[in-house]
Amino acid sequence: MLETLNWIERYFDEVTDAVFIFQEDHLLVSNQLAKNLQQELDLDPNYLAQVADASVKQKLAPTDDCFKCEIRSLMKDISIPITLAEDQPHPLSYFLIYHVIDTDNHVFSLTLKSRDIIERMDQLAQQRQLNQYVNRAHEEERKKISSDLHDSIAQGVYSAIMGVRRLREESLSADEIDELSQIIERELNDTLTEVKGMALDIRPSVLDNFGLLSALKVLAQRSQENSGVTVTVIGKADTDRLSSNVQSVLYRIAQESIHNALKHAEANEITILLVSHDHFINLEIIDDGVGFDVPAHRKFNGRSLGLMNMNERVKSLNGSFGIKSSPGNGTTVTAKFPVVGA
d(CA 227, CA 221): 10
The minimum distance between CB 42 and another protein, in angstroms, equals 60
Nearer to another protein, 263 or 298 (CB): 263
Nearer to another protein, 227 or 304 (CB): 227
Residue 285 near residue 272 (C-beta atoms within 8 A)? yes
The minimum distance between CB 322 and another protein, in angstroms, equals 24
What 3-state class would DSSP assign to 300?
coil
Q: Which residues pair with 230 in a beta bridge?
A: 269
Nearer to another protein, 78 or 307 (CB): 307
Nearer to another protein, 50 or 232 (CB): 232
The minimum distance between CB 264 and another protein, in angstroms, equals 9
Neighbouring CB atoms inside 10 A of 166's CB total 15
The H-assigned helical ranges of the chain are: 2-14, 32-40, 45-60, 67-74, 115-148, 155-169, 174-202, 205-210, 212-227, 244-260, 294-298, 305-316
Nearest CA-CA partner of 78 in 118, 104, 51: 51
Q: What are phi and psi of 114, to 5 degrees?
A: -70, 130
Nearer to another protein, 260 or 311 (CB): 260
The minimum distance between CB 225 and another protein, in angstroms, equals 4
> Where along the sequence are the contacts to another protein (CB under 8 A)?
152, 178-179, 182-183, 186, 189-190, 193, 224-230, 259, 262-263, 268
The minimum distance between CB 333 and another protein, in angstroms, equals 17
